[in-house]
Structure 1
Amino acid sequence: MSTFIQFHILTRYGLSNPNRDDQGRPKQAMIGGSPRLRMSSQSIKRALRESAFFALDLAGNRGTRTKRLHDGLLDRLTAAGHPVEKAAEIAGQVAEVFGKLDNAPKGQHHRTATTLAFISPEEWATAEELADKAAAGEALPDKKALTKMILRKADGAVDIAMFGRMLADNADFNRDAAVQVAHAFTTHAAQIQEDWYSAVDDLNKKEETGAGHLGETGFGSGIYYQYVCVNADLLVENLAGDKELAAKGGEALVQALAVATPGGKQNSFAHHPRAEYLLAEAGGQAPRDLSGAFFAPVTRQPWLDASVEVLEKIRADLDAAYGPGCDDSRVMQVGKGGTLGEIAQFVGDTIRGL
C-alpha cells in the first residue's frame, strides 16, 4: 500500500498574466458554468523545477530536459582537440540512445533530437564518459548495449522522479511520475481584462504627435486553488531507494509550491504571490482532490475566507461519507496559524518514516 501526500493550496494573485494561451492572453476554463482563470499544470511544474528551492536544495540532483545532448557532446570532444567529423559521429551514436536526431544541415555538424529528453546527471555523465573513451580509440558497444549502459530506471534525479519522463524509443526506461499536479483555477468567477498601452519615442520631435508603438495585453486576478498529489513510495523507488534524498525533495516541493509561480509577463505585472492557505495530508487512503468545492463559484467576500470555508466543508463532508481521507495533516493559514517550515518538516518526516 502506498503512502500519499496531498496538498490543497489557495493563493491570491493580483493583476497578472502568469500563464498565457496562444494569443498571449491568460488561460481560462469554464467550471460549473462560470468563467475562471487557469494556470496549466505544465507551467506550474516548470516553475517548481526552476525555483530557488530546487536549484539550491537539490543541486546536483536535477535533470536536464533538452534536445541538445548531441551538441553538448560534440562541443566537449572538439574542445578536447578531437577532429569535428569524428566528434560528430561519436556524439551522434551516444545521443541517439535518448531518441532520434535530425540530420545536420549541409556543411554543419550540430544536430538536435526530434523530441525533448529528460536526462539525469548520472546519465549525462555516463554519456560523456563513453564519448570520451570512444574519442580516445575505445570502440563503442552496439546500440542495445549502449542504451543499457547509459539509461537508468532509477537514480538521483529528483525532478525526473517527481514528474516522470517518456522515452518513445526506449520505453523500458520511462519513469512514472510520483507527483501529480493539477491545473490551478480561480475559486470564483473571473474574466480577462484588456490593457491598451503605448510607448513613446524618446527622440520624437515636438511637432510629431502619436505614440511610437501601440499594443495590448490581457490580465486578470483572483484566488487560485491548486491540488498536488505525491506518491511517496514511488518517489523513493524512482530515487533508487534513497529516502533521505526523497525527503529533501519533498521538503523542497512544499516550499516551492508556496512561492513559485509561472513567469509570464513577470516584468509587466511583478506578480510574486505567496500561498495564504496550505493544507498537507498524508496517509494510505486513496487520493481525492477537493476541486468540487469550487464548482459553484465563491461569491461571498472576503473571497479567501469563503474559499477556505467551502474547501474545509467539502473535506469534512467527504470524510463523513467515505471515512478519514488521511492519517495526519498540517495546515498553514496566514494570519491564523501554522508555518511553512512545519509543513515541510511534516512532509520530510513522512517520507523518512516509510
Structure 2
Amino acid sequence: MTTFVQFHLLTSYGPSNPNRDDQGRPKQAMVGDVPRLRMSSQSVKRALRESSFFALDLKGHIGTRTKRLHERLVSHLVGRGTEPTRAGAVGTEVAEIFGKIDEPKKGEVARVATTLAFISPEEWKLAEELAERSVAGEELPKEKDLKKLVLRKADGAVDIAMFGRMLADDADFNRDAAVQVAHAITTHRAQAEEDWYSAVDDLNKAEDTGAGHLGETAFGSGIYYQYVCVNADLLIENLGGDKELAARGAEALAKALPQTAPAGKQNSFAHRPMAFYMRAEAGPRAPRDLSGAFFTPVDRKMGELKVNDLQRGSVRALELTSTQIDTCYYDGQAERTCPPLNTLDGSGSLTEIVRFVGQAVRGA
C-alpha cells in the first residue's frame, strides 16, 4: 500500500507581497464567495528549492532549472582549450538532448534553449563528458541513443523527484511529481491594499518643496493555510529506490516548509514568518487537504469556534474539520500523526515532526 505523508501549516504574514500577479499586486482568489490572498504553489516550490535546508541537507542532490545549458557547455569546452566555433557546434548537439535550441541572432554566438529544462547533477555531468568526447573526435550516437546516454528516469536530484519535470520533446524521460503543493490561501477575508510612498532628494534642501519621487506598491496581510502531500513510495521510486535519500529529502522538506516563504518584495517588507501551527500525518489513507475548514472564513464564525482571535480560530477550524472527517469516514480513528507544532501554546516541536516524517518514509 502507498504511504502518504501530509503537512498542514498555518502561517501569519504581516504587510507583505511575497507572490505578485501580473500587475504587481498580491495574488488573490475567491473562496466561498469571499476574497482571499493567495500564494501560488509554483512560488512556494521555488522558495523550498532555494532554501538553505535543501542547499545544506541535500547538497549534491539538487537539480538545475535552466535554458542555458548550451552556454555553460560552450564555456566549459572553451575553458578546456576548445576553439569557440567548435565548442558552439558540439554544445548545440549535446544541449538539444534537453530541448530545441534557438538560432543565434546576427552577431551573437551563444544560443539559449527554447525549453526550460530541469537537469539533475548526474545528467549535467554526463552532458559535459559527452561534449568532451565529441571534441576529442569520438562520433556521438544518433538522437534517441544519444538521449539514452544522458537522460535518466531515476537519479539523485531530490527536487526533480519531488516536484517532477516535463521534457516536451521526449515524454519517456518525464518525471511524475511525488510531492503535491496546494496554493496557499488566507483562512479569513483578506484583500490587497495600496501603499503610496515618496523619496526625498538628498541634495534638494531648500529649492523645491515636496518629494523627489512618488510611487505606489501593493501589499496584503493574513493567515495562510498551506497543504502539502508526499507520495513516499513514488519519491523512493523516482530516486532509483534510494530510501535513505528519499527520507533525507522528506526531512529537509519538513524543516523548510514552516521556515521558508516566497521572497517577493522582501527588501520592502522584510517578511520572514515562521508557521505558528504545523501538523504532519502519515499512512495509507487517501490524502485529503483541510482547506474546507476555511470555505466559511474564520472571521465569520468566531463565536461558533469559541475563540476570539484569528490564529486560534484557524487552528480550531482545521482540527475540528480533521476530526469530523475521521468520524464520518474512519469510525473516529485518526491518521497516524505526532503532536502538532503550536507556538500559540508552546507545544510540539519541529524536531519531533522531522523525526516522524523521516521514519514514515524509511518505513514505506
Report the TM range for the smaller structure's normalisation.
Answer: over 0.9
Partner residue of 2:353? 343
Partner residue of 1:230? 230
**Amino acid of the structure 1 residue aligned with 2:113:** A
Asked if the contact 2:323/2:334 (under 8 Å) is kept, the reply is no
**Amino acid of the structure 1 residue aligned with 2:68:** R
Partner residue of 1:333? 342
The CA distance in 1 between the partners of 2:243 and 2:325, in whole Å, is: 31
**Amino acid of the structure 2 residue aligned with 1:31:** V
Superposed, which structure 2 residues align to 1:12-31 within 5 Å?
Answer: 12-31=12-31
The CA distance in 2 between the partners of 1:322 and 1:142, in whole Å, is: 55
Alignment: residue pair count: 354
Asked if the contact 2:99/2:113 (under 8 Å) is kept, the reply is yes
Partner residue of 1:316? 323
Quick check: 49-58 or 208-217, which moved more?
Answer: 208-217
**Amino acid of the structure 2 residue aligned with 1:268:** S
Give the C-alpha shift of residue 85 in structure 1.
1.1
Superposed, which structure 2 residues align to 1:207-246 within 5 Å?
Answer: 207-246=207-246
Q: Does 1:110 align with 2:119?
A: no
Partner residue of 2:72? 72
Partner residue of 2:293? 293
The CA distance in 1 between the partners of 2:133 and 2:177, in whole Å, is: 33
Superposed, which structure 2 residues align to 1:108-147 within 5 Å?
Answer: 108-147=108-147
The CA distance in 2 between the partners of 1:353 and 1:5, in whole Å, is: 12
Q: Does 1:303 align with 2:310?
A: yes
Shift in alpha-carbon separation, 1:161–1:330, aligned structure 2, 3 A: farther
**Amino acid of the structure 2 residue aligned with 1:347:** V
Give the C-alpha shift of residue 265 in structure 1.
0.7
Asked if the contact 2:13/2:271 (under 8 Å) is kept, the reply is yes
SS at 1:98's partner residue?
A: coil
Asked if the contact 1:285/1:325 (under 8 Å) is kept, the reply is no
Asked if the contact 1:286/1:325 (under 8 Å) is kept, the reply is no
The CA distance in 2 between the partners of 1:330 and 1:170, in whole Å, is: 44
- 1:5-28: CA deviation from partner (whole Å, max 9, x where unpaired): 000100011111111111111111
Asked if the contact 2:338/2:352 (under 8 Å) is kept, the reply is no
Partner residue of 2:57? 57
**Amino acid of the structure 2 residue aligned with 1:344:** V
Q: Which runs of 4+ in 1 moved over 6 A?
A: none
Asked if the contact 1:284/1:327 (under 8 Å) is kept, the reply is no
Asked if the contact 1:155/1:239 (under 8 Å) is kept, the reply is yes
Give the C-alpha shift of residue 115 in structure 1.
1.6
**Amino acid of the structure 1 residue aligned with 2:28:** Q
TM-score by length of 2: 0.96
Partner residue of 2:99? 99
Asked if the contact 1:330/1:346 (under 8 Å) is kept, the reply is no
The CA distance in 1 between the partners of 2:315 and 2:117, in whole Å, is: 40
Shift in alpha-carbon separation, 1:76–1:306, aligned structure 2, 3 A: same
Gaps of 5+ in 2: 303-307
TM-score by length of 1: 0.98
Partner residue of 2:5? 5
- 1:239-269: CA deviation from partner (whole Å, max 9, x where unpaired): 1111111111001001110110000110111
- 1:139-172: CA deviation from partner (whole Å, max 9, x where unpaired): 1111111100000001100000000000000100
The percentage of counterpart residues that share the same residue type is 66
Asked if the contact 2:186/2:224 (under 8 Å) is kept, the reply is yes
